[in-house]
Amino acid sequence: MVMNIEKEALESCLSEYDVDVPSISVDGEIYNKVVRCETDYQSSAGILRVTRSLYRIKGGLPTICPLEMKAGVVEGRWTPRAARQGIWAVAHMTPQESEDLFKEIGNMEPSKSSLDRLPKKIGALWEASFIEHQAMIRLDEEIPAEAVTVAICLDGVMVPMSKVDSVTDEVSEAQYKEASCGTISLYDKDGERLSTVQIGRMPEHKKATLKLQLKLELEGLLSKRPDLNIVKLADGSKDNWGFLENDILSGRSLLDFWHMSEYMKEAFDAAYPNDTGKSFGQFEKYKAILKNDKAGTDKFIRCLRNLHKTHPKNSTIKRTLTYIRNNKHRIHYAVALELNLPIGSGVVEASCKTLVTQRLKRSGMRWQMHGGQAILSFRSLIKSNRFDKAWDIISLTYKGVVDMPKNVVVLPANKRI
């Protein structure tokens, strides 16, 4: 009964936005009424049945609906709150799971197909001006006073993409391409993480859009707090470091400690294939040296040289030695830990899992660019605690101002035929 009351109340409220006059003015153009009819809108309380008028400019084909413009109806069907709930659901679950969830909860019961279309439509609007939209979000964000360090990281994760035949438009087998994730994290003087902005992008050449977003995010922080220490973290990818060290000139570069540890473990396993105890002991010893000894990098390189002399044909030891030499200037963990700076890129690796893997790499899934990016954009906003502000911006794009030409009398809703 309460649910029915809520639905009737919403129908009444929505009807108040209706305009029933011969003509209206929008952006200085006169639109004439062409039809008045009932239609359905999806609300958080269920389907609303409302009478509304449609208007068309002289000689124009598309019609406009003052009720929808004034109420901010999303994509001609959803009330703002219903659309928000639908977007939030499909950002976390498949459209089918979202449909099942809404049925279980009651009230709103959108279909799987409508839930599938919704993020694509709104995502296209967001992507068209996402640089400006994110700049608007950053303007209102406050940087914690206790923040002293900002860490910037990026990484990639493979996702299954639909391979579409250019002639028949038929979808054939999946092909895996690398999506990208980036994070901007703030830390206090004790090295405790305070907040993280997460960004996820579908596969693109050299992660161009992700890099642009990360750079703009960092510049936004530094414009408010130029005193922040900058730490740049990544694995040994040349493309990642090309961006971090060529596009972001200031700050300290640190090779992800856990990637370094993986190379170290492989080298000792290769040197002592029949003695796991010896391998593990050496691994733990030099891992501690790298973390705590300011001369640890040189000591580890000497160790690897000796191992390489003993096993000159072992490609794993040689590869690790080359890796360390190429990244020597990024391996200063003891100094970083002394300053309470982060030395691992675990935050961005976790983002790869939470943004991409958990949602886009489920059994049987195949993605195209626009659909996958819509999901990643909204997941990124949710995980970064920016969804509320983003939705305020999105909602405004669906609202419009409707003016009445002079000498027009608008009847109250309860007096209309």
| Rounded percentage of the chain residues whose pLDDT exceeds 90 | 87
Q: Answer whether residue 177 shows pLDDT above 70.
A: yes
Q: Give the residue among 226, 244, 258, 264 at the shortest CA–CA distance from 182.
A: 244
pLDDT at residue 164, as a whole number: 67
Q: From edge to edge, which strands make up the β-sheet containing 63-64?
A: 23-26, 29-43, 46-57, 63-64
Q: Retrieve residue 397's tokens.
A: 């794009």
User: How far is the C-alpha of 303 from the C-alpha of 315, rounded, in Å?
Assistant: 16
pLDDT at residue 168, as a whole number: 59
pLDDT at residue 166, as a whole number: 56
- The pLDDT-based confidence of 198 (bands split at 50, 70, 90) is very high
Give the DSSP per-residue string, 145-180.
TTEEEEEEEEEEEEEEEEEE-TTT--EEEEEEEEEE
Q: What is the helix (H) or strand (E) element at residue 25, kind and residue range?
A: strand 23-26
Q: Answer whether residue 414 shows pLDDT above 90.
A: no
Q: Give the residue among 343, 338, 298 at the shortest CA–CA distance from 321.
A: 298
User: How far is the C-alpha of 90 from the C-alpha of 101, rounded, in Å?
Assistant: 11
User: How far is the C-alpha of 55 from the C-alpha of 34, rounded, in Å?
Assistant: 5
Query: Who wins on pLDDT, 172 or 263?
Result: 263
pLDDT at residue 165, as a whole number: 57
- The pLDDT-based confidence of 385 (bands split at 50, 70, 90) is very high
User: How far is the C-alpha of 177 from the C-alpha of 353, rounded, in Å?
Assistant: 16
Average pLDDT across the chain, whole number: 92
- The pLDDT-based confidence of 125 (bands split at 50, 70, 90) is very high
Using one digit for the tens of pLDDT, what is the confidence trace for 231-252? 999 998 999 999 999 999 999 9
Mean pLDDT of 126-153: 95
List all residues 6 or more positions away from 207 whose beta carbon is below 8 Å from its beta carbon: 154, 156, 180, 201, 239, 243
Using one digit for the tens of pLDDT, what is the confidence trace for 11-46? 999 999 999 999 999 988 899 999 999 999 999 999
Instruction: Note whether 188 and 194 are within 8 A (CB).
Output: yes
Q: Answer whether residue 409 shows pLDDT above 60.
A: no
Using one digit for the tens of pLDDT, what is the confidence trace for 288-345? 999 999 999 999 999 999 999 999 999 999 999 999 999 999 999 999 999 999 999 9
Q: Retrieve residue 26's tokens.
A: 């929008």
pLDDT at residue 277, as a whole number: 95
Phi-psi region of 19 (alpha: psi -120 to 50; beta: other; left: phi over 0): beta
pLDDT at residue 310, as a whole number: 92
- The pLDDT-based confidence of 171 (bands split at 50, 70, 90) is low
Q: What is the helix (H) or strand (E) element at residue 50, kind and residue range?
A: strand 46-57
Of 92-106, 166-180, 193-207, 357-371, where does mean pLDDT reach its minimum?
166-180
Residue position matching structure tokens 């969830």: 101
Mean pLDDT of 217-243: 95
pLDDT at residue 407, as a whole number: 60
Question: Which burial class, exposed, middle or buried, applies to 51 when counting CB atoms under 10 A from its CB (0-12, 13-18, 19+)?
Answer: middle
